Structure 1
Amino acid sequence: MLAGHYTAALVAYQKFPKGTLLYFLIASQLQDLLWFMLHFLGLEYTGPNDVFDTTLSNMTVDMLYSHDLLPQILWLVIIFLVGKAVFMSNKIGIAGVLIVASHFILDIFSGHPHHIFGAETQNIALGLYATNVYLAIAIEIVFCIVMLWYFFKQDAENGVQRTSKNKAAIIGLFAFGIIFMLSIATTSFRELLGIPEFDLGFNSNVPTLVFTYAAMIVYLNYFLPKFVVDKKG
């Protein structure tokens, strides 16, 4: 999943406002953020190198340390300890653990192949990005709809009345994520738009992904806490 993981952070922040939204957003994408870092360290190579050649179905990823099953134990312990130390709360640490665990579980159904520990061990994910990318996207769409519906429903029950503009800003991010995934599901931007080969240093795959993830985190961290009472609503 791309955008869908963030919805877990929204619900966690709603339940535990003592924790910062930024903590929950980072927890929701911890494995992917680790993947990017490990790629730059030469430990988890990602291809194709050029983002304009990339599709969800042709992306090759080595997620040994960030996404395979056994390393999850370490990431769960770390996110719990960070939550407990920063917020002085076991509940927030546990919420972080559940979010990180949800990322792993959701990727089993909508994502790249994951193994117990290494490609030579048992594959424990469906790997739908490679085998049935549109089904993977459909799963993410359903998950986003259900989670956003629950989030806004709980907002209403808690007396939080967001403006229509604020709701649209939040929903729009997830709509963008889905549209972006559909646009590169099986056809690259180079093939779709006839983009010529070039290398200006900003069209690499992983740096572009880093920018996209960071922009989404900043966007949600800005818009989610900002609401005013909509008297017309």
Structure 2
Amino acid sequence: MLAGHYTTALIVNQKFPKGSLLYFLIASQLQDLLWFTFHIVGLEPTKPSDVLDTTLSNMTVDMLYSHDLLPQIFWLLFIFLVGKILFKSTKIGVVGAALVAGHFILDFFSGHPHHVFGAETPEVALGLYATNVYVAIAIEAVFSIFILSYFFKQEAQRGVQRTSKNKASIIGLFVFGIVFMLSIATTSFRQLLHIPDFNLGFNSNIPTLIATYLGMILYLNYFVPKFHLDENDF
């Protein structure tokens, strides 16, 4: 999943306000952020290298350390300790770990292939990005709609009144995520727009993904807490 993981952070932040939305957002996408880091240091090389040639179905990467099953034990413990230390709360640490576990579970249904530990070990995910990318995107879309509907319903019941612009800003990010995934599901931007081969130095795949993910984290961290502001502040 791309955007769908972030919806879990919104729900957790709603239920456990003693934590921080930024911590929950990072926990919800920890494995993907680790993947980018491991790519940069050469442990999880990702192809194609050019973002203009990339589609969800042709992207290949052995996510040995970031997404395979056995390393999850370490990442669960890591995010638990970060939450416990930062917020002086065992509960927040446990909730952060639950978000990490949730990422792994959701990737089972919509994501790249994952294994127990290494490509030669049994698969522990459906790997629909490679085998049926449109089903994977449909799963993410349905999940995002369901969780966002629950999020806004719970807020209304708690008396949280958001402006229509604020709701649209939040929902719009997830619409962007789904539309973006559909646009690169099986056809690259180079194919779609008939772009010739060139290298401007900023069309590398992973740096572009890093900018996208961090942008989405900062975007949600800015707009989600703004429910109490007057509509004129937008």
Task: Give yes or no for the alignment of 1:195 onto 2:195.
Answer: yes
User: Distance in 2 between the 1:70 and 1:20 partners?
Assistant: 28
Task: Give yes or no for the alignment of 1:32 onto 2:26.
Answer: no
The structure 1 segments of at least 4 consecutive aligned residues displaced by more than 3 Å after TM superposition are 228-231
Structure 1 counterpart of 2:206: 206
Which amino acid in the other structure matches residue 52 of structure 2?
F
Structure 2 counterpart of 1:225: 225
Q: How does 1:14-163 map to 2 (within 5 A)?
A: 14-163=14-163
User: Distance in 1 between the 2:29 and 2:92 partners?
Assistant: 16
Structure 1 counterpart of 2:216: 216
Structure 1 counterpart of 2:6: 6
SS at 1:84 equivalent = helix
Deviation at 1:229, TM superposition (A): 7.3
Deviation at 1:131, TM superposition (A): 0.4
Give aligned pairs, total: 231
User: Distance in 2 between the 1:214 and 1:124 partners?
Assistant: 27
Unaligned runs of 5+ in 1: none
Deviation at 1:228, TM superposition (A): 3.2
Preserved CA contact (<8 Å) 1:11 1:151 = yes
SS at 1:161 equivalent = coil
User: Distance in 1 between the 2:13 and 2:188 partners?
Assistant: 36
Which amino acid in the other structure matches residue 106 of structure 2?
L
Q: What is the TM-score with the length of structure 2 in the denominator?
A: 0.97
User: Distance in 1 between the 2:94 and 2:150 partners?
Assistant: 21
SS at 2:160 equivalent = coil
Percent identity between the two aligned chains: 75
Which amino acid in the other structure matches residue 128 of structure 2?
L
Q: How does 1:165-180 map to 2 (within 5 A)?
A: 165-180=165-180
Q: What's the CA shift string for 1:158-189, capped at 9, x where partnerless? A: 11010000000000000000000000000000
Q: What is the TM-score with the length of structure 1 in the denominator?
A: 0.98
